[in-house]
Amino acid sequence: MKIIFAAPSSAARGAVAVGVMAGAKLSPSAARLDQATGGALVRAIKGSRFKGNKAQMLEILAPQGVRVSRILLVGLGKPGEMKDTDLENLGGAVVARLATSGVREVAVMVDAIGAFKHKAPRRAARYGFGALLRSYRFDKYRTKEKAEDKPGLAKVTVMVANPGAARRAFADLEAIAEGVFLTRDLVSEPANVIYPKSLAREARKLTKLGVKVQVLGEAEMRKLNMNALLGVSQGSDREAQLVVMRWNGAPKGRGKGKTKAPLAFVGKGVTFDTGGISIKPSAHMEDMKWDMGGAGVVIGLMKVLAGRKAKVDVVGVCGLVENMPSAKAQRPGDIVTSASGQTIEVINTDAEGRLVLADALWYVQKKFKPRAIVDLATLTGAIIVALGHDHAGLFSNNDRLAERLTAAGTATGEAVWRMPLGEAYDKNINSAAADMKNVGDRGGGSITAAQFVQRFVDKGTPWAHLDIAGVTWDSKAKPTVPKGGTGFGVRLLDRLVAEHYEG
């Protein structure tokens, strides 16, 4: 979808969207349209329940006195209370409302209204960002869809008094959207298309943007004693991969000439998870194509950072495996020695993501000595029981990092909720046969999983673990997120980097 910024004009075609504030107070653009249509807007409002409350909408079809085919009244609520995410949601809601309406383009009017916290160009950019995010559609395999069922809206023109400033504000947001779309694409692809080697190839494409990409195969990982990760993969005919991506954007030669250690992001990339020998129930197993969601987020994030030329050094590491049952597969009761030297009794082969993270975390710490690490994984069903589909679970050994992630989640609408860690939970993964076992008791499953991961984090290294099992895929559309892959985490982590680690 094309997102264009232009100066206000009466030559708009198709549909036009104008704001109405709480109490049915018309914005300047809405007032001008009301006058041009002989009071049609006010009459429509009086004949409906529309009050201008936030996210309310009211359509006026074939209005007289203007060239447009319809006018869409958009509720702004109380302008002083509108956040960036509210503006994005309005842009997305406009696209969702008009996508299959028959109009090809819509002009969104953004007025200079003093009650708003931010000036019109910034608000215009956020409207456009929300519209772009909502326009995403994964339909490459649909060959028989009827034309009338396909979205016809192709162009959104955001009209604002200073379009140049809006375009500049939109540039970084567009780069973020491209990273989100890449993540959505990757988690939406079926497992016969996205598997460890093909996902590694997708990561390699980032070299065009200046990202340095290295891929380790099984032979190289075997030399590094990455037996926890390789154990998950041994039942599959598809070879495991470890993808290492580096974006070196930090300014050089400042201060004492010392470059700060990079920030690290680590993603679980199980491209399909049958559960292995501890096989999952067949119902909804097809959803396990997106068990590589953590890796998808890290790859999407690296695209964002390179796309907007972020002034920071970042390393992204993704452990890519397929978890399959076969005569070669890992068995419950097997004991493996991880790259860190710690031994693991594998009680349940369906608790595989933490095994992948164990060796990936060891590698990123040994190789890069990062100043902080955030790992992401669709790790446990237990986090869905605890938090549903509206928050990711946040676990951390560092209050400052946890607070930054929480604030970034609030600012982007990708909410996280901090969960506890502690010795009482950690004892649940002690093993009589090895240093630890890969599952604890049934209770607190997401917590004991995080405790397992924490055992592979060096003491003193700020670390956070995001369990994104409940937020990677959504069966219900949201204002800026269609059904399916959400891309959750890309915006959150980009905000974290931009606010606290750049420069």
Tokens of 470: 């409940």
Concatenated DSSP letters for 245-260?
EEEE-SPPS-TTSPPP
Is the predicted pLDDT of residue 12 greater than 90, yes or no? no
The pLDDT assigned to 310 comes to 98
Residues 6+ apart with CB under 8 A from 272: 191, 195, 288, 289, 291, 322, 323, 324
Is the predicted pLDDT of residue 255 greater than 70, yes or no? no
The pLDDT assigned to 147 comes to 82
The fold adopted by the segment(s) 2-161 is Leucine Aminopeptidase, subunit E; domain 1 (3.40.220)
Among 125-129, 251-255, 351-355, 446-450, name the one with the lowest average pLDDT: 251-255
Q: What is the mean pLDDT of residues 306-320?
A: 98
User: With a threshold of 0.95, does the pTM exceed it?
Assistant: yes
Give the whole-number percent of the chain exceeding pLDDT 70. 99
Region 175-500: CATH code? 3.40.630.10
Which residues does residue 73 pair with via DSSP β-bridges, in sequence order?
Answer: 18, 58
Q: What is the mean pLDDT of residues 28-38?
A: 96
Is the predicted pLDDT of residue 256 greater than 70, yes or no? no
pLDDT band at 146 (very low <50, low <70, confident <90, very high): confident
Q: What is the mean pLDDT of residues 178-188?
A: 98
pLDDT band at 252 (very low <50, low <70, confident <90, very high): confident
The pLDDT assigned to 149 comes to 82
Do domains 2-161 and 175-500 share one topology? The answer is no
Which residues does residue 337 pair with via DSSP β-bridges, in sequence order?
Answer: 343
pLDDT band at 253 (very low <50, low <70, confident <90, very high): low
The pLDDT assigned to 254 comes to 53
Residues annotated as catalytic are 280, 354
Q: How many CB atoms lie within 10 A of CB 143?
A: 6
Q: How many CB atoms lie within 10 A of CB 257?
A: 7
Tokens of 208: 């065009």
In this predicted model, which residue has the larger pLDDT, 146 or 473?
A: 473
* pLDDT tens track for 407-452: 999 999 999 999 999 999 999 999 999 999 999 998 999 999 999 9
Q: What is the mean pLDDT of residues 78-90?
A: 95
Q: What is the mean pLDDT of residues 90-102?
A: 96
Q: How many CB atoms lie within 10 A of CB 211?
A: 23
Give the whole-number percent of the chain exceeding pLDDT 90. 94
* pLDDT tens track for 329-341: 999 999 999 999 9
> How far is 281 from 223, CA to CA, in rounded Å?
35
In this predicted model, which residue has the larger pLDDT, 256 or 167?
A: 167
pLDDT band at 315 (very low <50, low <70, confident <90, very high): very high
> How far is 37 from 501, CA to CA, in rounded Å?
52
pLDDT band at 258 (very low <50, low <70, confident <90, very high): low
The pLDDT assigned to 9 comes to 84
> Where do the domains of the chain lie?
2-161, 175-500
* pLDDT tens track for 99-116: 999 999 999 999 999 888
Concatenated DSSP letters for 387-414?
HTTS-EEEEES-HHHHHHHHHHHHHHT-
The pLDDT assigned to 163 comes to 97
DSSP-derived 3-state class of residue 19: strand
Is the predicted pLDDT of residue 487 greater than 70, yes or no? yes
The pLDDT assigned to 470 comes to 98
The pLDDT assigned to 195 comes to 98
Is the predicted pLDDT of residue 90 greater than 90, yes or no? yes
Q: What is the mean pLDDT of residues 457-461?
A: 97
Which residue, chain included where needed, has tokens 């099984």? 218
The pLDDT assigned to 148 comes to 81
Is the predicted pLDDT of residue 257 greater than 60, yes or no? no
> How far is 182 from 195, CA to CA, in rounded Å?
16
Q: What is the mean pLDDT of residues 362-380?
A: 98
